[in-house]
């Protein structure tokens, strides 16, 4: 493995930065390429068939172009729909991002947990399976929100965003029967940890969790013993529909300063 072979992170937008952040903390010298399919953003409003066809094809092009040592699908929607298709299509290790239902069930005292994601993610059979396997004795409430995705993107771009808008977008989860008993909520979209401080302030009795730290540890494990540069080169970001406004503001804190189009 060449030391300059990068880790490739993939999402429809920049929510995957919630996975990249903890990975950078564990592996500060790792070369990084971040790819955003903003031509199809947000994935949560797309059909399962479109995502299942689009994501493997696009990642195939990306792998040919950047020659990564590992691919992380830093998107719950793409992972729950297309992970198996991607793994079958690529000859590099692929790490997916799936809702942290197991740790949520382990933490819950009330046995009522929430899954807050995109509309596409929360309706997936994959989520049904996780709930059945790891939270069989819990009531699992779900809510899908496209508004939260948009708000997270705007906040990262440095725009003025009203925290009350994020709280309102998540409120239908708590308005369901037994919603007043929620004590643990899975942030099942990589965008949503970027709003977790606002949600936690509005619901101090609730623990909001995501899989970012666990995914970072998985990436570190799968690349253990490999050669890395002495110093991390500037990270690169690629966009399928041109570079959106505000990306320098969003990406620079993560060491990504080389922006381009795919």
For 185-210, the pLDDT digits (tens) are 999 999 999 999 999 999 999 999 99
Domain at 7-97+213-261, CATH from 3.30.465.10, 3.40.640.10, 3.40.50.1860, 3.10.180.10: 3.40.50.1860
Catalytic residue among 19, 75, 95, 173: 75
Kindly report the backbone phi and psi dihedral angles of residue 197, in degrees, each rounded to the nearest multiple of 5, phi listed first.
-65, -40
> Domain extents for the chain?
7-97+213-261, 101-210
Q: Are 217 and 224 in contact (CB under 8 A)?
A: no
Annotated catalytic, 138? no
As a whole number, mean pLDDT of residues 10-35 equals 96
Separation of alpha carbons 169 and 143, rounded Å: 10
Q: What's the DSSP call for residue 253?
A: G
Which residue is catalytic, options 17, 131, 156, 189?
189
Q: What is the mean pLDDT of residues 101-116?
A: 97
Please give the pLDDT value at position 1: 77
Tokens representing residue 250 in the block: 């969003």
Topology match between the domains 7-97+213-261 and 101-210: yes
Tokens at residue 16, please?
Answer: 């995957």
Distance CA 168, CA 216 (A): 30
- Architecture of the domain made up of 101-210: 3-Layer(aba) Sandwich (3.40)
Contact (CB, 8 A) for 66 and 6: yes
pTM: 0.94
Q: What is the pLDDT of residues 231-246, one digit of tens each?
A: 889 999 999 999 999 9
CB 94 within 8 A of CB 83: yes
């Amino acid at each position: 493995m060449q030391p300059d072979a990068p880790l490739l992170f993939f999402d429809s937008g920049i929510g995957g930065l919630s996975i990249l952040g903890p990975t950078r903390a564990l592996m500060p010298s790792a070369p990084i390429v971040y790819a955003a399919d903003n031509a199809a953003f947000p994935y949560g409003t797309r059909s399962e068939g479109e995502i299942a066809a689009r994501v493997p094809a696009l990642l195939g092009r990306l792998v040919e172009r950047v020659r990564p040592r590992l691919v992380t699908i830093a998107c719950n929607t793409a992972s729950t729909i297309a992970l198996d298709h991607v793994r079958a299509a690529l000859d590099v290790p692929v790490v997916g991002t799936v809702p942290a239902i197991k740790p949520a069930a382990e933490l819950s005292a009330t046995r009522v947990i929430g899954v807050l994601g995109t509309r596409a993610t929360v309706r997936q059979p994959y989520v049904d399976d996780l709930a059945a396997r790891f939270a069989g004795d819990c009531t699992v409430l779900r809510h899908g929100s496209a508004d939260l995705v948009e708000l997270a993107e705007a906040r990262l771009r440095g725009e003025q965003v009203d925290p009350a808008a994020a709280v309102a977008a998540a409120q239908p989860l708590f308005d369901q029967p037994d919603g007043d008993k929620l004590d643990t909520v899975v942030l099942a979209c990589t965008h949503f940890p970027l709003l977790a401080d606002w949600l936690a302030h509005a619901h101090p009795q609730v623990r909001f969790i995501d899989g970012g730290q666990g995914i970072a540890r998985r990436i570190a494990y799968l690349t253990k013993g490999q050669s890395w540069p002495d110093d991390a080169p500037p990270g690169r970001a690629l966009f399928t529909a041109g570079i959106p406004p505000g990306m320098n503001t969003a990406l620079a804190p993560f060491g990504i300063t080389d922006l381009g189009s795919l």
